Every structure is written in structure tokens, then in C-alpha cells.
């Protein structure tokens, strides 16, 4: 039974343990060995690596990872999967199972305990109902993460990789691209999973920057500005920032800041690059310091 991701093996495990798939946990088990290999290959796992897997499920990918990596820490929320994992992974002595919600675990603590604080590689077939919170936790935690190679909904992967002026470009694109370089490495159809999800999937690799590509004074304010710009993405930036709850930046102030940056007062947020958003945040901040008007 061990060592295979083929559909038959998965069905046998589900039957043997009378396991009922939990939709609420986004359980779509990967059953295509070609895709498994592609993920592990894209993550460039070697014996020197410590891997953090989010949601090991039945352990199909965990086994692939354990065969290549030095150590694997696998965080699974569903306690009913733990006895199954303990049995299916019993042949490996380099796997640590953690029964917890990934949104609640201390990532720094895991990197410290598992890898002496050295960078860890994250690899996962993510549960789609909380993809964005997981990605943002990984990126914002500042825990030592070397790379993040994950299966996500294709639409979300497209949004992470999108650039200005495209329909997929938004707050998620900018947040991800502030921390990491995204690269979609594979498209994955629904028939690679049991049960089949209703959406197409993609594998994306995020390689973390040592330093963000732009300097901002206050990250929280910077991201509040970006969220406000895209909350009403069809509006001009001057209107969107004026209407935004908690910001209420007067239209003239945004228009003047845009003018100093060589941008039209009618520009929409979706046209600005990460660098231009950083410059706009800086301009608005400077004006605020000069005029003593609070941004928020």
C-alpha cells in the first residue's frame, strides 16, 4: 500500500480506515504521481532540507518529501487523519506529525525546533478554503522560510503572479510580490484529485526576498492603502482613497501626490506598480507629516 499516489491506493486507504472526507477542511487528495513529482521537483528538495508540509492528508506527498528531505514537519488539522498518518508513515523516522491548525502554529518555533532556526521549505497541496490566510501568514510571519511551493486554485495562482493593468492584478498580487517572487510551475486539472474539486488548480512557487523590493515606512499603512485602492477597483484612485473607511484621504491630497509622481489624477489603482504604490505611500506620508493631517 505504501509509496504510491495512485487513485486505487487512496480509495483503499479511505475504505480501510472508513475515513469520511471532510469538505469543510478542503480535503481533495492528490492522486497523480506525475503532479506529485512536479511539485517536489519544483521545490528542489535535497537531504540537507527541512520541509514544512501543510495538510498531509493521507500522507501521499509526505512520503515523497520524506524520501528526499532530511526532515519533514507535517501540520494536519483533522485529528481523524492522525492515526491513519501514523500507520501509513510508520516506515519513516524523519517525519514529525503535528495535529494543529496551521494558522495557529508558531512557524518560528517549528523552524527553531526542526532546523535549528535555519530556513525551511514549505511544500503543500493547500486547503482552498483558507489559501489566502495561509499564504499571508507564511509571508508576513518573517519566519525563516526559503521558499513556498504550493498547489492552489488556478485563479488564486494567477492573482498572485499578475502584473499591473490585468484583470487578475490586485491587493493579493502586490502583497505576495512585496515578499516574494512568484512563478507558476504547473497547471493541474480536477481529475488529479479525489474527490475532484470544482476548479482548476496550479502549482506556484514563491521565492522569498531577503529584503522587499521597495522600502516603505509603515507596512500596515502601505497595505491599507493598497486594499483601499482595490476595494473599489473601477473607481479612480482619488475617489477610492477618499471613500475608504479609516483612510478618507482628501481627493486633492491624492491628486497632488499623483501629480508629483507624474501620474494622472484620474488613474486607477490597477495601473500602479508596486514601486508606484510605495512612492505614493511615501508622498502621502510626507504630506501628512507636513500638514499634520492623519492618514488614518
d(CA 142, CA 159): 22
Residue 254 sits in the site that holds ligand SAM (CB under 6 A): no
| Alpha helices by DSSP H, 77-207 | 82-88, 107-115, 131-140, 154-161, 171-179
Matching residue, cell 517525519:
95
User: With respect to ligand SAM, which residue has the nearer C-beta, 125 or 177?
Assistant: 125
Smallest gap from residue 251 Cβ to ligand SAM (A) = 42
Residue 56 sits in the site that holds ligand SAM (CB under 6 A): yes
Residue 76, helix vs strand vs coil:
strand
Q: Number of residues in contact with ligand SAM, rule: CB under 6 A?
A: 23
Give the list of residues 6+ apart from residue 281 with CB closer than 8 angstroms, or none: 216, 217, 218, 221, 222, 225
Binding of residue 279 to ligand SAM (CB under 6 A): no
Measured from the CB atom, the residue of 125 and 161 that comes closer to ligand SAM is 125
Burial of 93 (0-12, 13-18, 19+ CB in 10 A): exposed
Q: Is 7 among the residues that bind ligand SAM (CB under 6 A)?
A: no
Q: Which stretches within 183-272 are classed as H helix? A: 219-231, 237-243, 251-260
Binding residue for ligand SAM, selected from 35, 52, 77, 174, defined by CB under 6 A: 77
Q: Are 5 and 60 in contact (CB under 8 A)?
A: yes
Residue 288 CB burial class (10 angstroms; 0-12, 13-18, ≥19): middle
| Among 43, 65, 76, 202, interactor with ligand SAM by CB under 6 A | 76
Residues 121-160 vs ligand SAM: string with x where CB under 6 A?
----x-x--x------------------------------
Select the residue whose beta carbon is closest to ligand SAM and give its number. Answer: 55
State the residue for C-alpha cell 476548479: 199
Contact flag: residue 272 with ligand SAM (CB under 6 A): no
The DSSP letter of residue 123 is E
Q: Across the chain, where does the E strand assignment appear?
A: 29-30, 50-54, 71-76, 95-99, 120-125, 145-153, 180-188, 193-194, 201-208
Of positions 40, 51, 66, 102, contacts ligand SAM by CB under 6 A: 102
**Min CB(77)–ligand SAM separation in Å:** 4
Chain residues 12-51 in contact with ligand SAM, contact rule CB under 6 A: 25-30
N residues, the chain: 296
Scanning 55-63, 167-175, 261-269, 271-279 for contacts with ligand SAM by CB under 6 A, the matching segment is 55-63
Query: Cβ 171 to ligand SAM, closest distance in Å?
Result: 22
* 12, 86, 101, 106: which one binds ligand SAM (CB under 6 A): 101
| Binding footprint of ligand SAM on the chain (CB under 6 A) | 25-30, 54-57, 60-61, 75-78, 81, 101-103, 125, 127, 130
Amino acid at each position: 500500500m505504501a509509496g504510491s499516489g495512485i487513485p486505487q491506493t487512496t480509495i483503499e486507504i479511505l475504505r480501510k480506515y472508513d475515513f469520511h472526507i471532510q469538505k469543510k477542511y478542503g480535503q481533495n487528495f492528490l492522486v497523480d504521481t506525475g503532479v506529485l513529482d512536479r511539485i517536489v521537483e519544483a521545490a528542489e528538495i535535497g537531504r540537507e532540507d527541512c520541509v514544512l508540509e501543510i495538510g498531509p492528508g493521507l500522507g501521499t506527498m509526505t512520503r515523497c518529501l520524506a524520501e528526499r528531505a532530511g526532515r519533514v514537519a507535517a501540520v494536519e488539522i483533522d485529528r481523524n487523519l492522525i492515526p491513519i498518518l501514523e500507520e501509513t508513515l510508520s516506515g519513516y523516522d524523519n517525519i514529525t506529525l503535528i495535529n494543529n491548525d496551521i494558522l495557529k502554529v508558531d512557524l518560528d518555533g517549528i523552524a527553531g525546533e526542526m532546523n535549528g532556526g535555519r530556513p525551511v521549505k514549505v511544500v503543500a497541496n493547500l486547503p482552498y478554503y483558507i489559501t489566502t490566510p495561509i499564504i499571508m501568514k507564511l509571508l508576513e510571519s518573517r519566519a525563516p522560510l526559503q521558499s513556498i511551493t504550493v498547489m492552489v486554485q488556478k485563479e488564486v495562482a494567477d492573482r498572485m503572479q499578475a502584473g499591473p493593468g490585468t484583470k487578475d492584478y490586485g491587493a493579493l498580487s502586490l502583497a505576495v510580490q512585496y515578499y516574494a517572487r512568484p512563478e507558476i510551475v504547473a497547471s493541474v486539472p480536477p481529475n488529479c484529485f479525489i474527490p475532484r474539486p470544482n476548479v482548476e488548480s496550479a502549482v506556484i512557487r514563491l521565492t522569498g526576498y531577503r529584503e522587499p523590493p521597495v522600502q516603505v515606512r509603515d507596512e500596515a499603512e502601505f497595505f491599507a492603502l493598497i486594499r483601499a485602492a482595490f476595494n473599489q477597483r473601477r473607481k479612480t484612485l482619488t475617489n477610492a482613497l477618499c471613500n475608504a473607511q479609516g483612510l478618507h484621504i482628501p481627493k486633492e491630497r491624492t491628486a497632488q501626490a499623483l501629480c508629483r509622481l507624474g501620474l494622472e489624477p484620474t488613474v486607477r489603482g490597477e495601473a500602479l506598480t508596486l514601486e508606484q504604490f510605495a512612492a505614493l505611500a511615501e508622498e502621502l506620508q510626507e504630506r501628512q507629516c507636513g500638514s499634520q493631517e492623519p492618514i488614518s
